[in-house]
Structure 1
Amino acid sequence: MKLAGVVEYDGSDFSGWAAQPSRRTVEDTLSQALSTVLRQPVKLAVAGRTDAGVHATGQVVSFSADIPLDPGEIAYKATAVMPGDLALRRCVEAPADFDARRWASSRSYEYRVLNAAVRSPLAWGRSVYISRRLDETTLTEAAGKILGEHNFRAFTPSRTYHSYFVRRVSESRWDREGEELVYRITANSFLYGMVRALIGTMLEVADGKRSPEDFGRLLDSPEARRSSAGPSAPAHGLTLTGVGYEDVPGL
C-alpha cells in the first residue's frame, strides 16, 4: 500500500530535513517512528527538503506499508511515538506509483517578520524581529516583480547542484497582519536557498539600500551570481505551508 502523509514540524531543534550522521533531522525521526509502528524499514520520499531551522505545516511525504493498517491509525500511532516538535498530521492512501517529490506541481512558503517597536516572546521562534519601520510600498512592488517566469540564478549559491535556474512563480505578496509582515510565495519548484535570498534582498529594498528596479533586474540575469543579491534572511522565519498535487485526494 502506498501512502501519502502531511507532516508538521517546528524546525528549531532539527538540523534540517535530510538524514545526517550524528544529527537530529526530521527524516530520521519520522522514518524511525514509522518503522516502529509498521514494524518494517520505511524509506521516505519528500516534497521539499527544508534547511535547519525552517518549519513546516504542509510538508508531504510518501512511503509504502506492507501491513493493512488504516492510514488514519498510522498517523495517530506514529505521532504518538514522536517528540512534540514533529507530527504526521494526516495520512491517506495514494496511487501505487505516487512520489511526493516527482508528483508535486507546486510548493508554497510563508515568511514572517515581526515589524514592531518591541519584540514578542511568543513570536520569537517563528518570525524575524525587525524594529525599524520597513517601507511596505516598496516591499509590495518588489514582490510583484517576482510573479511569472524568471531566471533566479542570483538567488542560489554560485556553487550549486542546479543546472536550470528558471522557475515559475504563481503567488508572491506581502500582507500586513497586525504587527507582522507576512510574505507568501508559491512556485512550481524552488532553487536551494531561493526563498530566503529573495526575502533578504527585498528587505534591502524596504530599507532603501537598493531600488525595486535594481531588484527586478536581478530576476532575469543569467550572468548574476549570489553575491549580486542581498543576504539570506534567517531560517526561523520561514515555513513550508503546502504542496500542490493534481490527483491525490486528501492532500
Structure 2
Amino acid sequence: MRFALCVEYDGMAFHGWQSQPHGRTVQDHLQRALSTIAGEPVGVHAAGRTDTGVHALAQIAHFDTRAERPLQAWVRGVNTHLPPAIAVRWAQPVAEDFHARFSAQARSYAYVLHNHPVRPALQHGRVGWYHRPLNAEAMAEAAGLLLGEHDFSSFRASECQARSPVKVLHQARVHRQGEYLLFELRASGFLHHMVRNIVGSLLWVGYAKEPPDWIGELLACRDRTRAAPTFMPDGLYFTGVDYAPDWNLPNGGRIIASPPSFLA
C-alpha cells in the first residue's frame, strides 16, 4: 500500500534531504523510523530535495509498505523514532500511481530575511540576514520580471542535475514586515540553488547596485556568472506542494503552509 506524508523539519540539524552514506539526512532518519514501524525496509520519495540548512514546513513524501498499521502509527508512531527536528504532520493512503515528485504541479518556497544593521541571535539559522537598508518596492518590481516561463540558467547552480533550465514561475512576491523581508516563490519546479540565487540577485537591486530591469537582463543572457553569489540557506523554507484535487490530499490537494510565526 502507498501512503503520502507531510513532513516538517529544521534543516540546521541535517545534511539536506537526500540520503547519504553517513546517514545524517532527513531522508535517512525518516526511512529508519518508517522501517521500524513497518517491520520491513521502507524507502521514501519526496516532492523536492532541500540542501543543508534549508527548512521545510510542508515537505510531501510517499512510501510503499506491506505492513498494515493504524493510520496514526505512521504519524505518532513514526515521530517517536524521529529526532526532535523532524516531525510527520499527517499521513494518508493514496493511489498506487501517486508520486510525491512526479505528481506535483507546483512547489513553493519562502525566504525570510532579517534586514537590520545587527545580525540576529535568537533566530540564528532560521532567518537570513542582510545589514544594508533594502528597497522592498524595487525588489518586488524586479521579482515581477521573473514571472512566467523562462530559461533560468542565470540562477542555476553548476552542479544542477535538472534536465532542463526552463521552468514556469507562478508567484514571485517580495514584501516587508517591519525588520523582515519575505520572499515567496511558487513554480512548476526549481533548479538547484535557484531560490537562493534569485534572492541574492534581488538584494543587489534592493541596495541599488543594479536597477530592477537588470533581473530581466539576467534572464535573457542565461549566464550564471553575471548574477549575484548564492545567498545563505538559513532563511529558506520549503512551504508546500500543489497537487491535483483528484489525489484527495488534505486541504483539497494544495498543501501550502503559513510563513514562520514571527512574521504572522
TM (norm. structure 1) is 0.95
Counterparts of 1:35 and 1:91, CA distance in 2 = 15
1:5 alignment partner in structure 2: 5
2:240 alignment partner in structure 1: 242
4+ aligned runs moved over 4 Å, structure 1: none
Q: CA RMSD in A?
A: 1.4
Secondary structure in 2 matching 1:208: coil
Deviation at 1:151, TM superposition (A): 1.0
1:117-155 Cα deviation digits (max 9, x unpaired): 444323222111223211112111111111111110111
2:223 alignment partner in structure 1: 225
CA contact (8 A) 1:171 1:187 kept: yes
Deviation at 1:219, TM superposition (A): 1.6
1:83 alignment partner in structure 2: 83
Residue type of the partner of 1:55?
H
Counterparts of 2:195 and 2:17, CA distance in 1 = 16
CA contact (8 A) 1:47 1:104 kept: yes
Counterparts of 1:117 and 1:159, CA distance in 2 = 33
Residue type of the partner of 2:147?
L
Deviation at 1:164, TM superposition (A): 1.5
Counterparts of 1:72 and 1:167, CA distance in 2 = 37
1:95 alignment partner in structure 2: 95
**Which deviates the most, 201-210 or 101-110?**
201-210
- 1:16 matched to 2:23? The reply is no
- 1:183 matched to 2:183? The reply is yes
1:193-227 Cα deviation digits (max 9, x unpaired): 11111110111111211121121111233xx3211
CA contact (8 A) 2:53 2:125 kept: no
Counterparts of 2:131 and 2:30, CA distance in 1 = 37
Deviation at 1:96, TM superposition (A): 1.3
Counterparts of 1:177 and 1:108, CA distance in 2 = 20
Structure 1: runs of 5 or more not aligned: none
Note the 1:139-154 alignment, pairs <5 A: 139-154=139-154
2:262 alignment partner in structure 1: none
Deviation at 1:159, TM superposition (A): 5.0
TM (norm. structure 2) is 0.90
Structure 2: runs of 5 or more not aligned: 256-264
Q: What's the % identity of the aligned pairs?
A: 38
CA contact (8 A) 1:3 1:71 kept: no
Report how many aligned residue pairs link the two structures. 249
Counterparts of 2:157 and 2:10, CA distance in 1 = 25
2:68 alignment partner in structure 1: 68
Note the 1:159-198 alignment, pairs <5 A: 160-198=160-198
Deviation at 1:187, TM superposition (A): 0.3
Residue type of the partner of 2:240?
G
Secondary structure in 1 matching 2:62: strand
1:33-66 Cα deviation digits (max 9, x unpaired): 0000111100111100001110001101100121
Secondary structure in 1 matching 2:97: coil
1:81-124 Cα deviation digits (max 9, x unpaired): 11100011111111111110010000000001011244432322
Counterparts of 1:75 and 1:205, CA distance in 2 = 44
2:261 alignment partner in structure 1: none
Counterparts of 2:220 and 2:166, CA distance in 1 = 9
Counterparts of 1:44 and 1:23, CA distance in 2 = 14
Secondary structure in 2 matching 1:33: helix
CA contact (8 A) 1:158 1:225 kept: no
CA contact (8 A) 1:16 1:26 kept: yes
Deviation at 1:23, TM superposition (A): 4.7
CA contact (8 A) 1:157 1:225 kept: no
Deviation at 1:177, TM superposition (A): 2.1
